[in-house]
Structures are given as structure tokens and as C-alpha cells.
Amino acid sequence: MKASRHLPIASFSVPFMGYGQCAIRNLDVGTARALHLLNTGILTGAPMARLRVLKSGKKSSVLQDAAALTTQLAAGLEKIGLAMKSRTWRREGRAGLGPLQRQVLTLLRSKPGQRAQVSTVANELAIRLPTASEVIATLERKQLVRRRRDMSDGRVVMAQLTAKGNRSCTPSSRMPDRLATATEALSEPEQVILLTSLVKVIRSLQEQGEISVARMCVSCNSFRPNQHANAERPHHCDSLNIPLGDRSLRLDCHVFEPASAVQINEAWANFTGSRTA
């Protein structure tokens, strides 16, 4: 049996058309072409396609090619999101759990003490506070979640996973398996390019306000990009006190500590090599 070899890849659960194209346009042509592998190979199961470089030399042709590429990338990401959402409905719908309910359970399971403020749930899932409250109330009726007032501040409502809720959301930890298996069709260098491309796309969406919280290395207070001379592991994580390479970047880290806007911008400039001396 072939050994599993893949990098951490995030699953997209929302359509990317529209604002996704804006995010993708922020990628350079090289990384955009790498991300195009999602649409040409992973979705179709066909051999990995390589985009032909136009030989005309005409600027208009190059621009048209780039525009068509971003459209295809957005369409590919949308297809992945719809496929994952459809799979969730087919599997979890029978258990009486909708995708948003599943996301809330999974989020609570990842938190210390398996609990979080209702406002935190709303913020991290990019939903309105009344929606988060309604979903949590539904989960409480199903005895999957319990709501309690915070001992230190009675105005704050905490949602905590019950033992039954913990058992219910255990299978979700295997949700990315299909995507992880699909990415094994990529070579390791292609996987690294894809991962860094996804980091760029997600950060762009975050800047546009489409994603409120992304617990990525590049947004973390502990991330120190390009601190080491080692080309394989140039970055450093202060929280774990370990060197990191691009292949080890996390899109959803359990030790994430949000950095300030100034820190994020400075780290991003260092990460992309765009900071001037």
C-alpha cells in the first residue's frame, strides 16, 4: 500500500465565485497556475494538466489568459466547496445535524475545555450573533451543547460541548480525508506551492472582510518568518519553539494567538519578501 503523503489542506465550505476571484487575482501567475491544479486534476481525476504559456507576446493575450485563469480557479474552488457541503448533507443529514451545527460542534471541540463564548462562535464561523445563538439553542435541545453564564462575568454566555456532543462530532475530524487523498496526486513541491497559495487566498479574503478569523501562522503573534538561514525551515514558531518550513504552515492552528494588525502586516511583508530595507 502506498504511504500517505500530503500537506494540511483546508476544505472550503462556501462558494468562491465573486469575492474569490478578487482574492485569486492577488496571486502571482506561478502560484495561480499551481492552484489551478485543483480544478484540472483533483476535481476531474484526470492526469495533471499544465497550462500552455502563450507565445504571442501580446499584452492583451496575456491579460486575457490571466483573467480566464482566475475565473477557472474560482470555479474550481467553488466546486470543491459545493462537493464538500453536499457530502456533509448526505452523511450528517441522516444524523439530524446540518453543516452549520456540525461546524459549531467541531469548533467547540477544538477549544480549551471544549467551550467558547457565543460571540466567539459567531466571529470564527463568520455568522451573525443571532444565528449562532439559534444554532447553539438547537444543539442544546439535542443535548449536544450546554449553555452557562461565565462565572467571572454573568453577562457572557458560554457554550460547552457535552459528552454526547463530543461523540457526535468525532467523525468530522476525518472530513478532510477526501481532499487529502486527492492532493496526493500532486508532487511534494506542488503541494507546498498549493499550500502557500491557499495562505495567500485566505489572507486576501480576510482583508476583504469575507473571513473574520483565520488561525493561520501568518496571522499569529508567535510566527517569525525568515528567521533562519536553513532554506528548508526558514521560519520560527515562538509558541512551539521550533523552526518551520513552508510545508509546515498551518491554516488552522490549535495554539494560534492573534497578532495585531501592525504585526500581521510586518510578518506578511517578511514572509513574502516584500519589505524594503
Q: What's the pLDDT tens digit per position in 123-137?
A: 888 788 999 999 999
On the question of pLDDT at 50 being above 60, the answer is no
Report if residue 55 sits inside a domain: no
- Give the model's pLDDT for residue 93: 53
- Give the model's pLDDT for residue 86: 67
* Domain carrying residue 138: 95-173
221: confidence class by pLDDT, cuts 50, 70, 90: very high
Report if residue 117 sits inside a domain: yes
CATH number at residue 144: 1.10.10.10
Cα separation, 16 vs 70, in Å, equals 11
Higher-confidence residue of 86 and 164: namely 164
Report if residue 114 sits inside a domain: yes
Cα separation, 198 vs 68, in Å, equals 19
- Give the model's pLDDT for residue 217: 92
On the question of pLDDT at 66 being above 50, the answer is yes
Instruction: Give the number of residues written for the chain.
Output: 277
Q: What's the pLDDT tens digit per position in 170-196?
A: 654 445 567 778 888 888 889 889 888
Q: Contact 80/43 with Cβ under 8 angstroms? A: yes
Cα separation, 250 vs 243, in Å, equals 13
Q: What is the largest CA-CA distance in the chain?
A: 69
- Give the model's pLDDT for residue 170: 60
On the question of pLDDT at 39 being above 80, the answer is no
Report if residue 232 sits inside a domain: no
Structural domain total, the chain: 1
- Give the model's pLDDT for residue 182: 81
On the question of pLDDT at 275 being above 90, the answer is no
Report if residue 249 sits inside a domain: no
Report if residue 106 sits inside a domain: yes
Smallest Cα–Cα separation from 238: which of 224, 218, 252? 224
- Give the model's pLDDT for residue 23: 59
- Name the range with the highest mean pLDDT among 177-186, 197-206, 210-219: 197-206
Mean pLDDT across the chain: 74
Report if residue 15 sits inside a domain: no
Cell of 214: 483565520
Report if residue 134 sits inside a domain: yes
On the question of pLDDT at 112 being above 90, the answer is no
Is residue 234 exposed (0-12), middle (13-18) or buried (19+ Cβ within 10 Å)? Answer: middle
- Give the model's pLDDT for residue 148: 85
Distances (CA, A) of 99 to 23, 79, 269: 25, 17, 36
- Give the model's pLDDT for residue 107: 87
251: confidence class by pLDDT, cuts 50, 70, 90: confident
Average pLDDT over residues 235-262: 90
Residue 267: alpha-carbon gap to chain centroid: 19
